[in-house]
C-alpha cells in the first residue's frame, strides 16, 4: 500500500521537500479566524472526517452536546446503541485498512463517560484528565489508542461534558496551588486532556475541546495540555489565555510519511506553531516517537536544524520538548503486518527491543535499556548542536 494514497490522508499530498508547505499551513493563518469561515466545514477537513452514520447511546443522543453533534451532521444516519464500548462490526482489526479508514472517516459514536478518575502521571503532565473522546480519525501505525477496541476505532465523543468539567474543577480545587516547580510546569498543575485521541480532530466534531480550553481559563492554578498531529486552525479562535499547552508531535518527515497515516505533514505542524503561540497557547513539541532505524540520527539532526531555521524566536523562547522513544506491541505488530508491512520494517526490531510490562498490565516492546540510553544521549547531543534553545522536559 502506498502511504497516503487515495483517501489515506493528508500526507500523500506532500512533496518530498522537507519544508514545502501544504494547504494546511496556509489554512492556519490568523486571517481564517477573522473572516468567519470555519475549517471544519472545508473540504480539507472533510477528507479526514465526513460523517454519514452516528451510533448513539440514547442518553447521549438526548443530551445538549449530543443534539448539537447530530445537528452538525444532518445527513448522517442515527443508529441507537446500548453501549459505546460494544459495537462489534465497528471495532476490531478484521478487514483491511480501507475499511478501517472508511469507518474512521464516516462513523461517529456518541456515549456517556462513566469514569471520572484523575490519575497522577508525572511525565507528560502532572495528571491525566478524564478525556472527552476515545478513538481517532487518524491511523498512525504505532498508535496505542486502539489497543482496547482495535484499529477500526472511530471517534467516540463523550457528551456528558459537565460531569467531566465538574470532576476536573473539584480536583483542581482539592490539590490547591503547586508549591514546588517540576518539569511539567513551574507554576501550574498540568492536566493532559487528550490521552486517548487527538483534541484538534475532536474539534471538527463538537465544542468539547473548546469547552475544556475555556474551562482552564478559569483555573489559574492549572493548565490543560494535549499532543496533536493535526493542524486545526479553528482552535486559533478559542483564546486560551496561556492556560492550554498544545504539544505538536514531530518526527523526521520521512518517518512521518511512512508511519503517521492521515495526519497533517510535519512541516505544517511546525509552520502552525507561531500562529498558535500568538493565539494564546503555550506551544511545546513532542519528539515522538523516536524510531531507531538506519540513518535515524541524521534524519533527526535534519529535523532539529529545520526547526531551528523555521521557528521564530518567540516560539523558541517558550518551547520545551518531550522525547518519547517508540513503544510497540506484539498484537499491533501482527495487525500491521496485514496492511502496512513496510512500517514494521522500522517498528519491529527484536534485535534491539525487549518486552516490558506496561502500567495497565499488558506486554509491550521497548528498546533495550542500553540502546534506549544511547539513543537519548544521541538525541540530547543533536538538540544541543542543532536546537540548543529546546529545553528537554523529559525523555521516556
Task: Report how far residue 54's alpha carbon sits from residue 65's, in angstroms, rounded to the nearest whole number.
Answer: 13
Distance (Å, whole) CA 323 – CA 387? 14
Query: How near is the Cβ of 143 to ligand SF4 at its closest, in Å?
Result: 3
Our CB check for ligand SF4 shows the closer of 206 and 263 to be 263
Q: Which is nearer to ligand SF4, 172 or 260 (CB)?
A: 260
Cβ nearer to ligand SF4, comparing 248 with 300: 248
Nearest CB to ligand SF4, comparing residues 145 and 382: 145
Least Cβ distance, residue 115 to ligand SF4 (angstroms): 19
> Residue 206: which of 109, 296, 82, 78 has the closest Cα?
109
For ligand SF4, give the closer residue by CB, 277 or 332: 332
In terms of CB distance, is 178 or 229 closer to ligand SF4? Answer: 229
Least distance to ligand SF4 from the beta carbon of 220, Å? 29
Q: Phi, psi (5° rounding) for residue 78?
A: -100, 130
Listed residue (190, 192, 201) closest to 131, CA to CA: 192
Query: Are 191 and 215 a contacting pair, CB within 8 Å?
Result: no
Any residues with CB less than 8 A from the CB of 281 and at least 6 apart, and which? 235, 240, 242, 244, 245, 246
**Min CB(162)–ligand SF4 separation in Å:** 25
C-alpha of 83 from chain center: 25
CB of 229 to ligand SF4, least distance (A): 4
Q: How far is CA 10 from CA 148, 204, 206, in A?
A: 26, 16, 22
Q: Give the shortest CB-187-to-ligand SF4 separation in angstroms.
A: 28
Cell numbers 503555550 label which residue?
A: 282
* Residue 329 Cβ vs ligand SF4, minimum distance, rounded to whole Å: 13
Please, what is the minimum distance in Å from the beta carbon of residue 301 to ligand SF4? 24
If residue 249 lies in a helix (H) or strand (E), which one and from where to where?
A: strand 244-250
DSSP state of 234: G
Which residues of this chain interact with ligand SF4, rule CB under 6 A? 136, 138-140, 143, 145, 197-198, 229, 263
Residue 81 or 256: the one with the smaller Cβ distance to ligand SF4 is: 256
The answer to whether the beta carbons of residues 284 and 270 sit under 8 Å apart is: no
CA 252 to the chain's CA centroid: 17
CA distance 174 to 184: 19
Q: Smaller CB distance to ligand SF4: residue 286 or 353?
A: 286
Is the CB of residue 286 less than 8 Å from the CB of residue 341?
A: no
Amino acid at each position: 500500500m502506498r502511504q497516503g494514497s487515495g483517501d489515506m490522508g493528508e500526507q500523500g499530498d506532500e512533496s518530498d521537500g522537507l519544508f514545502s508547505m501544504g494547504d494546511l499551513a496556509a489554512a492556519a493563518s490568523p486571517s481564517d479566524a477573522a473572516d468567519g469561515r470555519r475549517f471544519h466545514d472545508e473540504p480539507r477537513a472533510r477528507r479526514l472526517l465526513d460523517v454519514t452514520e452516528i451510533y448513539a447511546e440514547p442518553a447521549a443522543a438526548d443530551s445538549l452536546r449530543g443534539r448539537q453533534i447530530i445537528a452538525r451532521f444532518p445527513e448522517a444516519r442515527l443508529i441507537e446503541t446500548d453501549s459505546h464500548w460494544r459495537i462489534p462490526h465497528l471495532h476490531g482489526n478484521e478487514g483491511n485498512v480501507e475499511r478501517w479508514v472508511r469507518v474512521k472517516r464516516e462513523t461517529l459514536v456518541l456515549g456517556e463517560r462513566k469514569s471520572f478518575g484523575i490519575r497522577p502521571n508525572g511525565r507528560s503532565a502532572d495528571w491525566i484528565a478524564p478525556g472527552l473522546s476515545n478513538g481517532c480519525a487518524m491511523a498512525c501505525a504505532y498508535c496505542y489508542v486502539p489497543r482496547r477496541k482495535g484499529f477500526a476505532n472511530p471517534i467516540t465523543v463523550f457528551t456528558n461534558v459537565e460531569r467531566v468539567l465538574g470532576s476536573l474543577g473539584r480536583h483542581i480545587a482539592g490539590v490547591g496551588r503547586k508549591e514546588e516547580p517540576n518539569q511539567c510546569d513551574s507554576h501550574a498543575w498540568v492536566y493532559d486532556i487528550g490521552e486517548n485521541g487527538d483534541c484538534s480532530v475532536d474539534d471538527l466534531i463538537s465544542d468539547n475541546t473548546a469547552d475544556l480550553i475555556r474551562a482552564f481559563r478559569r483555573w489559574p492554578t492549572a493548565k490543560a495540555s494535549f499532543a496533536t498531529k493535526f493542524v486545526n486552525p479553528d482552535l486559533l479562535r478559542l483564546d486560551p489565555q496561556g492556560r492550554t499547552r498544545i504539544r505538536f508531535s514531530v518526527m523526521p518527515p520521512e518517518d512521518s510519511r511512512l508511519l503517521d497515516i492521515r495526519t497533517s505533514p510535519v512541516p505544517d505542524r511546525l509552520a502552525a506553531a507561531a500562529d498558535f503561540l500568538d493565539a494564546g497557547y503555550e506551544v511545546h513539541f513532542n519528539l515522538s516517537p523516536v524510531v531507531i532505524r538506519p540513518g535515524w540520527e541524521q534524519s533527526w539532526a535534519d529535523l532539529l536544524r529545520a526547526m531551528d531555521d523555521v521557528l521564530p524566536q518567540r516560539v523558541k523562547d517558550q518551547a520545551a520538548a518531550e522525547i518519547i522513544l517508540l513503544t510497540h506491541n506484539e498484537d499491533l505488530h501482527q495487525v500491521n503486518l496485514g496492511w502496512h508491512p513496510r512500517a514494521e520494517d522500522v517498528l519491529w526490531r527484536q534485535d534491539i527491543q525487549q518486552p516490558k510490562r506496561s502500567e495497565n498490565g499488558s506486554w509491550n516492546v521497548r528498546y533495550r535499556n542500553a540502546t534506549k540510553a544511547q539513543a537519548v544521549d544521541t538525541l540530547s547531543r543533536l538538540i544541543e548542536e542543532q536546537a540548543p534553545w529546546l529545553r528537554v522536559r523529559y525523555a521516556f
